[in-house]
Amino acid sequence: MNGRKARELRRMATTMLEKLGTPLGKGYNEYNQAMNRYELVKDVVNGVNVVKPEKAPGTITCAWEWRNTYQTLKKNYKLRRRR
């Protein structure tokens, strides 16, 4: 999304965070990793293969508040426009 509407949405994201008192650089270059993927592990118990799920690192998300706000505004704009 490049153009007038993108600039408007970026300005809205900046304004929203400034009104909340959140610094624009908060969470920049920081990432979170959820433990939401299951990895199958084989165990040999009494000569029988047993497959059991084990939690493993999964989805990586960005922690940058400004980017998350902008992405949410953009997503909502596109959903409204589709109707």
Q: What is the pLDDT of residue 22?
A: 95
Place of tokens 């009494």: 46
Residues 37 and 59 in one domain: yes
Q: What is the pLDDT of residue 82?
A: 86
Residues 74 and 58 in one domain: no
Structure tokens at 53: 């799920």
**What total number of domains does the chain contain?**
2
**Domain coverage including residue 52:** 30-63
- Among 62, 18, 54, which Cα is nearest to 36's? 54
- Could you report the per-residue pLDDT of 21-54, keeping only the tens digit for each? 999 999 999 999 998 888 777 777 676 767 777 8
d(CA 24, CA 55): 34
Q: What is the pLDDT of residue 45?
A: 66
Q: pTM for this structure? A: 0.73
Q: What is the mean pLDDT of the chain?
A: 89
pLDDT at 75 exceeding the cut of 70: yes
Cα-based distances in Å from 81 to 10, 13, 76, 78: 18, 19, 9, 5
